[in-house]
Amino acid sequence: MKRIALTLLLSAMAATAAAQHAHHAPAAGTVAQAAANDMADGEVRKVDKAAGKIIIRHGEIKSVNMGPMTMVFGVKSPALLEGLAAGDKVKFQVAQIDGDYVVTAIRKAK
Ligand SMILES: [Cu+2]
């Protein structure tokens, strides 16, 4: 599960880098415009591994038509929460599953 998510993320990152002819992640503002349109920026506020939940203060999430806010998300797999802690800046993907907003991929932002 984790391996698949990572592969997807790396693919998205590679596509972004290729599109911008950049070797490293460009400034955040540029990423927001050019990255795969379902990668959102956020900052972790709380991780609840037992419940499989994460609270993220996030920017606009175009994939689910959501403006900036702080909210709780479910996670597609508890493994996604490994290594994450409050205060981490993250890039993540969200899907709406059965009416709930669920993080399907997440990684720390550089
Ligand atoms: Cu939200």
Q: Where are the domains of the chain?
A: 2-108
CB burial readout 17-50, b (16+ within 10 A) else e: beeeeeeebbeeeebeeebbebbbbbbbbebeee
CA 101 – ligand 1 centroid, Å: 8
CA 62 – ligand 1 centroid, Å: 11
CATH of domain 2-108: 2.40.50.320
Per-residue pLDDT of the chain (110 residues; tens, 9 = 90+): 556 555 555 555 555 444 444 344 444 444 434 444 578 999 999 999 999 999 999 999 988 999 999 999 999 999 999 999 999 999 999 999 999 999 999 999 97
CA 72 – ligand 1 centroid, Å: 8
Could you tell me which residues are beta bridge partners of residue 92?
A: 40, 106
The rounded distance, in Å, linking the Cα atoms of 12 and 28 is: 15
